[in-house]
Amino acid sequence: MKVLVINGPNLNLLGQREPSVYGNTGLGRLVDMLKDHGSEMGILVDHLQSNSEGDIIDALHNAMGRYDGVILNAGAYTHYSYAIRDAVAAVKLPVIEVHISNIYAREEFRRHSVIAPVCIGQISGLGIEGYLLALDYFARYFEKKS
């Protein structure tokens, strides 16, 4: 089983950017944690971070036939990128939307996701633990599918 984790804009600054909101764990450490956690469950985890909408769309397209599922934190694109939403719908892969902060307890513009309706689920507000929970869910999801 293979899962692609995609992190969008500004997530390359994890651990530095607004630690009171996003925590102190850097992106490199998060990726290591995900790979280790996935390995324990027999899931290969790959990662991409991009600040560019087109790169995220290309990664979703390229995931078809190569990955069993996607964990997506689209960052600010969550709230307005219909192009990423359409890519998620088009690839027909199970996608879990993850947000480190509770987007529903923040500014009004952050409280709506255009991507969530085409995902199998959303995890919001549980810090980086949300990514690990998404992997846990995929382990059970793939087991049921086989």
Q: Could you tell me the residue ranges of all domains in the chain?
A: 2-69+82-107+120-145
In terms of Cβ atoms closer than 10 Å to its own Cβ (0-12, 13-18, 19+), residue 52 is: exposed
User: What topology does CATH give the domain 2-69+82-107+120-145?
Assistant: Rossmann fold (3.40.50)
For 29-87, the pLDDT digits (tens) are 999 999 999 999 999 999 999 999 999 999 999 999 999 999 999 999 999 999 999 99
Taking Cα atoms as reference points, which of 38, 102, 40 lies closest to residue 69? 38
Between 145 and 119, the higher pLDDT residue = 119
Q: What is the mean pLDDT of residues 131-144?
A: 96
pLDDT at 109 over 80: no
Kindly state the DSSP code that residue 64 receives in the 8-state scheme: T
User: Catalytic residue numbers?
Assistant: 22, 99
Q: Confidence class of residue 140 from pLDDT cuts 50, 70 and 90? A: very high
